[in-house]
Amino acid sequence: MKYIIQFEIILAISLVGELLNRLIPLPIPASIYGMAILFTALCTGLIKLSAVKETGKFLIYIMPMMFIPAAVGLIETWEAMQDFIVAIIVISIVSTILVMAAAGHMTQIILKFKGKEEKK
């Protein structure tokens, strides 16, 4: 029963994210709204980590299976993508490098910030 309640909490937050996506005319995916809401709720203590931890771990565990439909969709649209394959590869490589650089930079900033806090 605990897992069902945890899953319902996550689904409710996802629903709010979907509603915000429909109400706010910004090009932000509903999943980002949902993650931001969950993150804020966890940081403020509105939702305790124990209220979603086990189900969150389970969803992360099965995440690779969630990519199967997307991969099948790519395989089905291969003919349409062939004309743009070079552009797709270049965009994928450049965006991967940018994301890695941004994540590394943010990690360094956070570590510096934590180091300053620990010295105080």
pTM assigned to the model: 0.65
pLDDT (tens digit, 9 = 90+) per residue, 29-80? 999 999 999 999 999 999 999 999 999 999 999 999 988 988 888 888 888 8
- How far CA 71 is from CA of 22, 96, 116, in Å, comes to 27, 18, 44
CA–CA separation, 108 and 112 (whole Å):
6
Query: What does the pLDDT read at residue 118?
Result: 72
Task: With a cut of 80, say whether residue 20 has pLDDT above it.
Answer: yes
